[in-house]
Structure 1
Amino acid sequence: MRLLILAVLAICCLAACVVEGVGSEVPDRSVCVSLHTRSLPVQKIKSYTIKEGSMKAVIFITKRGLKICADPQAEWVKTAVRSLDKKSTTRKNMVQTTPMGAQQSTNTAATLTG
């Protein structure tokens, strides 16, 4: 009897893992049907992704969570992407230098007290 219960429990666990794996294979649903032609203010854009395929597009994600498709060849899109990339690079540099500065000040304090 115990063996039967153990076998049923193992099958249930296996089924749960298989079902979870199938759910992760669902294709991405962010497909652009049309492209936004008017420019967006860069300060309202949080991030972007680039979609290849039948319709190439840059998908801007606004701070409110809206996804807006735009033509990657449009000049305002290129400018917005460069601006977002520049902001991202600046933030990465700030994050990398902050721990080093904090660590150095800790070492200096230890040297003064020691």
Structure 2
Amino acid sequence: MRLLILAFLTICWLSVYNVEGVGSEVPDKTICVSLHTRPLPVHRIKSYTIKEGSMKAVIFITKRGLKICADPEANWVRAAVKSVNKKSSTRRDMVQTKPTGTQQSTNTDVTLTG
């Protein structure tokens, strides 16, 4: 009997954490409470996202995985976004470049057998 009650409670507990209500919104995991004011070294930035809402922010994601919120109107933020975009488009171009075909041998030696 205790095992049955324990199993029932476990199922109820799991369903509470796994099932979302109809029409409910899942809150965004990244919430900016304050904005970083000092410039971030661009070489440490991996990517970014733009957060709209009550506090507009650019969320930089560093190579270590840290998320740093910054003011999208700041000059250093605009420059960093341009730099990240340029860096990612350069990588994309390098990946999309395809070889034009097999290279022909430039060896012109001729071997004569007699």
Q: What is the aligned-residue identity percentage? A: 67
- Report matched runs for 1:9-88 at 5 Å: 22=20, 26-88=26-88
Distance 1:59 1:94 in 2: 26
Task: Find the structure with the greater CA-based Rg.
Answer: 2
Matched to 1:95, the amino acid is: V
Distance 1:94 1:29 in 2: 33
The residue aligned with 1:104 is: 101
Matched to 1:86, the amino acid is: K
TM-score, normalization: structure 2? 0.68
Distance 2:20 2:31 in 1: 21
**What secondary structure, in the 3-state scheme, does the structure 2 residue paired with 1:105 have?**
coil
Distance 1:90 1:21 in 2: 42
State the aligned residue count.
90
Matched to 2:81, the amino acid is: V
Q: How far is the alpha carbon of 1:22 from its aligned partner? A: 2.8
Q: How far is the alpha carbon of 1:27 from its aligned partner? A: 2.0
Structure 2 unaligned regions, length at least 5: 1-14, 106-114
Distance 2:59 2:46 in 1: 11
Structure 1 unaligned regions, length at least 5: 1-15, 110-114
**What secondary structure, in the 3-state scheme, does the structure 1 residue paired with 2:91 have?**
helix
TM-score, normalization: structure 1? 0.68
Q: Which has the higher helix share?
A: 1
